[in-house]
Homo-oligomer: A and B are copies of this chain.
Amino acid sequence: MGDKKGLTRRQLLAGAAAASLGTITLSASKAKAAGTWDREADILVVGSGVGASTAAVVAHENGDAVIVIEKAPILGGTSAKSAGVLWIPNNFTLKAKGIADEKEDCIKYMARFSYPERYEANSPNLGLSQSEYALLEASYDNASDAIDTLREKGALKVAEWRMFALDRSAPDYLDHVPENKVPTGRALGPVKDDGTMGGGVEMMAQLGAALRERNIPILLGHRAMRLIVNEAGRVVGLEVDSAGQVVSLRARKAVIFATGGYVHNPDFVANYQRNHLYGSCAMPWATGDFINIAGAAGARLGNMSGAWRTQILLEEALQSSKLAAGVFFPPGDSMLLVNKYGVRVVNENRNYNDRTEAHGIYDASQAEYPNQLLFMIYDQRTAEAFAGAYPLPSKPSGATHVMTGDSLKGLAERIEQRLKEVSSRTGGFSLAPSFADNLKATISRFNGFARSGDDQDFHRGDAAYDSEWHLVFSPMRTDTEWPANDGPSVTMHPLRDEGPYYAIILAAGALDTNGGPVIDASARVLNTEDQPIAGLYGAGNCIASPSREAYWGAGHTLALSLTFGYIAANAAHREPRDDA
């Protein structure tokens, strides 16, 4: 004790670097070995979804030299798989209609939805911390400007998004709270050359064309490995892997990450998600690379247990966790969801993100998740009159994921049998002995709600969201002989007293996760002391969501990514340019 030993400057410096960078070994740096950069730009943009593409276009328009780095062999990320909707408050179509989407009101809606347990209209920052509030404010302040910039620069054509065949404005995902003063009309969508509305493919095709028209270099198949920082602690470049070769890219101003979440990284999902996610419709490259890359640079992580949730088909997910789509809306009116005890646990017509939370409810007495799997139960009416509305097959029994029984008891037996077959993948999840009896009582009670139009348990159909999106996702077939739903609620119809009955097993999944490094209102990545890591920016699903887990309306995730990509490009533009 007390002996004093020498420690050289070199020991400390080199040691600190090696240890604190985790597996980032400086000796592997090609730039270091050669004393050169392979390529350079003012701003490196990682990813090519809507956030990254927006950042690249805006940076270019600001006069910055940009390189886009994309791990996948194709452009567009998960954005290209989406519906291409963009939730933009105070947008040009609202203004054109003379609808005032006031900042103060809109931020109240955002705060109410994102922080329900702390939102208080009369408290400073509405009950939020200053930094939480600032992220909401930045969302409002920049969303409309961002989309207008893309429009003005000819990078993206958008118009009010109309609900497909309904051709009406879309209600927000929480339209029925008093804080939402503009409950419809914030959603925009991409317009094709022929004037019709397109989806995510169209949106990303336009943005991809915008990149190419500007001759912005696009490095496909290049995986970001690690940041390179200068002696002042500024991020000055990036090492990327290209088919096993290390490529050193210089960023004279900044590196902007707008990549995916970690939903396809099983270790991260096990480590950070409280409940099991069985699969996701994100692109397979959503493996959360930015978490380790930014973590090694000292980034603070936030919202790590968060996700953009959706129900998914259990049996599809057990085939592959990389899914084509989620069950965004359970179709049908003579349909309900029950848990292992045969009881309803959620409004079946709530939006996918909020509805899927029900899977995670913990039962303290049994120390179990009774809703881990939910069972979509329906009768012949729904099977036929809504046939083809995913996940209903076009013929009632025309899919292996559909179970059938002549009676509720028989249906329960089929479900139990199916659960046994997948037992090793579900933690042995099985029906309670009371399932069939409870299901009968549950249906009886639901049928009463359908007749009265008043779901006293879960308020299904009470909000405009429920009924409008029911009509969008779940239109009744025009070629059916089943009578129209003439009851008081378009979303609820009594189930028949006789079979056959059908069941489909639903599990929790996600569009992607939404936790990662925390950013500030300028999209700067913060370190563990809440100071910006100079030269490092983030947007999209790779960062801690500025809305926490709330999904403000159709197109929310894309718009959030686009908005903070725009913010990041403009803030990065103001960084000092390192020409040394």
A99 interfacial contact with B, CB 8 Å: no
Whether A12 lies near B39 (C-beta < 8 A) is no
Whether A347 lies near B364 (C-beta < 8 A) is yes
Whether A298 lies near B301 (C-beta < 8 A) is no
Nearest Cβ in chain B — how far from A478, in angstroms? 30
Contacts of A534 in B (CB 8 A): 19
Contacts of A297 in B (CB 8 A): 19-20
Pairs A-B, 3 closest by C-beta atoms? A22-B298, A19-B229, A354-B364
Residue pairs across A and B with Cβ atoms less than 8 A apart, 24 shown, are: A1-B39, A1-B40, A2-B40, A4-B38, A8-B35, A15-B232, A17-B17, A19-B235, A22-B531, A23-B529, A112-B367, A115-B427, A116-B369, A117-B429, A118-B276, A120-B426, A129-B267, A267-B530, A272-B302, A291-B528, A296-B298, A304-B305, A357-B364, A365-B462
A562 interfacial contact with B, CB 8 Å: no
Whether A65 lies near B1 (C-beta < 8 A) is yes
Whether B26 lies near A13 (C-beta < 8 A) is yes
Contacts of A369 in B (CB 8 A): 116-117
Contacts of A518 in B (CB 8 A): 271
Whether A117 lies near B6 (C-beta < 8 A) is no
Nearest Cβ in chain B — how far from A448, in angstroms? 17
Contacts of A234 in B (CB 8 A): 15, 19
CA distance A302 to B361 in the complex (A): 21
Nearest Cβ in chain B — how far from A273, in angstroms? 9
A5 interfacial contact with B, CB 8 Å: yes
Whether A365 lies near B127 (C-beta < 8 A) is no
Nearest Cβ in chain B — how far from A141, in angstroms? 22
Tell me the nearest residue of chain B to A428, going by C-beta. Answer: B120
Whether A295 lies near B35 (C-beta < 8 A) is no
A250 interfacial contact with B, CB 8 Å: yes
- Bin chain A's interface residue count: 35 or more
Nearest Cβ in chain B — how far from A223, in angstroms? 15
Whether A358 lies near B364 (C-beta < 8 A) is yes
In the complex with contacts A276-B117, A354-B367, A122-B424 CB distance below 8 A? yes
Q: Which residue from B3, B346, B362, B530 sits with its C-beta under 8 Å from A357?
A: B362
A275 interfacial contact with B, CB 8 Å: yes
Give residues of chain A (15-30) contacting chain B, Cβ–Cβ below 8 Å: 15-24, 26, 29
Interface string of A403-424 (1 = CB under 8 A from B): 0000000000000000000011
Interface string of A353-384 (1 = CB under 8 A from B): 01101100110111111001000000000000
Nearest Cβ in chain B — how far from A513, in angstroms? 13
Tell me the nearest residue of chain B to A295, going by C-beta. Answer: B528
Contacts of A3 in B (CB 8 A): 37, 40
CA distance A270 to B130 in the complex (A): 12
CA distance A428 to B291 in the complex (A): 35
In the complex with contacts A5-B36, A16-B24, A296-B250 CB distance below 8 A? no
CA distance A351 to B367 in the complex (A): 11
Contacts of A14 in B (CB 8 A): 13, 17, 231
Whether B1 lies near A67 (C-beta < 8 A) is yes
Tell me the nearest residue of chain B to A533, going by C-beta. Answer: B19
Nearest Cβ in chain B — how far from A67, in angstroms? 7
Contacts of A366 in B (CB 8 A): 459
Whether B250 lies near A527 (C-beta < 8 A) is no
A74 interfacial contact with B, CB 8 Å: no
CA distance A563 to B273 in the complex (A): 26
Tell me the nearest residue of chain B to A132, going by C-beta. Answer: B270
Whether A15 lies near B365 (C-beta < 8 A) is no
Whether A230 lies near B11 (C-beta < 8 A) is yes
Whether A22 lies near B529 (C-beta < 8 A) is yes
A119 interfacial contact with B, CB 8 Å: yes
